[in-house]
Amino acid sequence: MSPPTTTIFDRMSALARELGAINLGQGFPDLPEPPELLEAAQRALVEKSNQYPPMRGLADLRDAVARYYAREQGLQIEPEEVIVTSGATEALAAAIFAFLRPGDEAILFQPFYDAYLPLVERAGGVARTVSLVPPRWSLPLDRFEAAIGPRTRLVILNTPNNPTGTLVDDATLEALGELCERHDLILLCDEVWEGMIYGGAKHMSPLALSSLRERAVKVGSAGKIFSLTGWKVGWAIAAPPLAEAIARQHQYLTFTTPTPLQWAVAEGLGLPTEWHADHRARYEAGRDRLVNGLTAAGYALLPSQGTWFVTVDLAASGLPPDDEAVAERLIREVGVASIPPSVFYRDDPERGYLRLCFAKDDATLDEAIARLARFR
């Protein structure tokens, strides 16, 4: 196992600060933060508790998570199935440590969010990779099935996907569920982008499928639902035996998650569906602004159904298909930071794409578009 290097997000953000570049790299928004949540957090600090909450999370938050998913996704979740964690990152770590023993195998779909591989390796696990197929980033079920072996224990799926902005379609998820059932695998599904899906597309959680209800772990993040990435309140949801195993890991990772923020998130999750739709609409407008501006400037973009990211097709945009080189030139020559998705591969990376974050105010997006137009 190689020692961890600094993540691409930190490296790109540090370089953006040093060079005064517009940061369309690391995914964090600069739009106004929801006042309802800020106000709830202030009230919680003064009026509620600042001492340790229960290890699995405040009962109010676990209830609120269950009710939110019943309303937004039609899921039947018991509060006992919810473990509150310090961000989705901790939920992923706790689940991976809970279900992988040294020598066990985990299947990862490339490109994958950067935390998965080091966590699998730290658990002593062995990663098998299956590449999604551009330009739609479809999931090749035949290659998935071929990657399953006698030591396979865990499958890590991310939908909506970071960095591609695509969703796994229902039929593929159903087929994946059947394969997980047949081979007795646990599906760890990172759904942190479930609140940021655009144009009427629908998210399906594995917990909605009978084949996966008892063998899937759903991971969510309030940081993404409310665009408050620094809050680091997340959760893992799974059937009781799985939730129990995750809680045992959680107690020695962080034990608990800041109490006032748990109160505030519980309150926020109770905001009506229309509030969530309005919140989402601001990000959809950002996506459309960046896509339209860059398309007019001659860039070719792949469709993004969700997340805060769009993908530039470099060759179709007349640029060399070498994402790291283009990212380096962009930040130094025109002052725009981006993320090269090839870093989200362990092997055979696709180098022909570039990820840009559109969760920015109009003026920032317009300036970025103008700078990128000059680059061509």
**Contact assessment for residue 263 and residue 222, using Cβ atoms and an 8 Å cutoff:** no
Mark residues 53-92: x for contact with ligand PMP by CB under 6 A, - for none.
----------------------------------xxx---
157 sits in which H/E element:
strand 152-158
What's the CA angle centered on 331, arms 135 and 319, to 5 degrees?
40
- Which residue number places its CB atom closest to ligand PMP? 87
From the list 141, 97, 143, 145, the residue with the least C-alpha distance to 123 is: 97
Rounded Cα–Cα distance for residues 225 and 64 (Å): 13
Helices 59-73/273-296 angle, 10° precision = 60
User: What, of ligand PMP, ligand GLN, none, does residue 26 touch, CB below 5 to 8 Å by kind?
Assistant: ligand GLN
190 interacts with, out of ligand GLN, ligand PMP, none, CB within 5 to 8 A per kind: ligand PMP
Q: Closest distance between ligand PMP and the C-beta of residue 359, in Å?
A: 11
Q: Which of 9, 285, 321, 367 binds ligand GLN (CB under 6 A)?
A: 9
Task: For ligand GLN, give the closer residue by CB, 162 or 257.
Answer: 162
Paired tokens of 83: 């473990």
Is 306 near ligand PMP (CB under 6 A)?
Answer: no
345 near ligand GLN, rule: CB under 6 A: no
With CB under 5 to 8 Å by kind, the binding choice for 358 among ligand PMP, ligand GLN, none is: none
Instruction: Return the residue of 25, 27, 260, 268 that touches ligand PMP, per CB under 6 A.
Output: 27
For residues 27 and 29, which CB has a smaller minimum distance to ligand PMP in the complex? 27
- What residue spans of 137-239 are helical by DSSP H? 141-147, 170-182, 222-225
Contacts (Cβ under 8 Å, ≥6 apart) of 208? 73, 74, 75
Are 96 and 254 contacting, i.e. CB atoms less than 8 angstroms apart? Answer: no
223 binds, among ligand PMP, ligand GLN, none (CB under 5 to 8 A by kind): ligand PMP
118 binds ligand PMP (CB under 6 A): no
For residues 129-168, which are near ligand GLN according to CB under 6 A? 162
* Closer residue to ligand PMP (CB): 163 or 293: 163
Sheet arrangement for strand 309-313: 301-302, 309-313, 353-357
Nearer to ligand GLN, 26 or 152 (CB): 26
- Tell me how far, at minimum, the Cβ of 223 lies from ligand GLN, in Å: 9
Phi-psi region of 176 (alpha: psi -120 to 50; beta: other; left: phi over 0): alpha
Q: What angle do CA 178, 182, 188 make, to 5 degrees?
A: 65
DSSP state letter for 267: H
DSSP state string for 24-73: -SS----SPP-HHHHHHHHHHHHHS--S---TT--HHHHHHHHHHHHHHH
From candidates 22, 23, 27, 267, binder to ligand GLN by CB under 6 A: 27
What Cα–Cα distance (Å) separates residue 72 from each residue in 173, 243, 339? Answer: 19, 22, 31
How many Cβ atoms sit within 10 Å of the Cβ of residue 324? 15
Which of ligand PMP, ligand GLN, none interacts with 9 (beta carbon under 5 to 8 A by kind)? ligand GLN
- Asked if 7 touches ligand PMP (CB under 6 A), the answer is no
Q: Which does 7 bind (CB under 5 to 8 A by kind): ligand PMP, ligand GLN, none?
A: ligand GLN
Q: Is 137 in the site for ligand PMP (CB under 6 A)?
A: no
221 touches ligand PMP (CB under 6 A)? yes
Distances (CA, A) of 9 to 102, 156, 353: 29, 21, 17
Could you tell me the two tokens for 255? 């034990």
Compose the 166-195 pattern: x for residues touching ligand PMP by CB under 6 A, - for all others: ------------------------x-x---
Nearer to ligand PMP, 221 or 364 (CB): 221
Q: Which of 23, 26, 86, 311 binds ligand GLN (CB under 6 A)?
A: 26
Residues that bind ligand PMP (CB under 6 A): 27, 87-89, 113, 158, 162, 190, 192, 221, 223, 229, 232, 234
Residues that bind ligand GLN (CB under 6 A): 7, 9, 26-27, 162
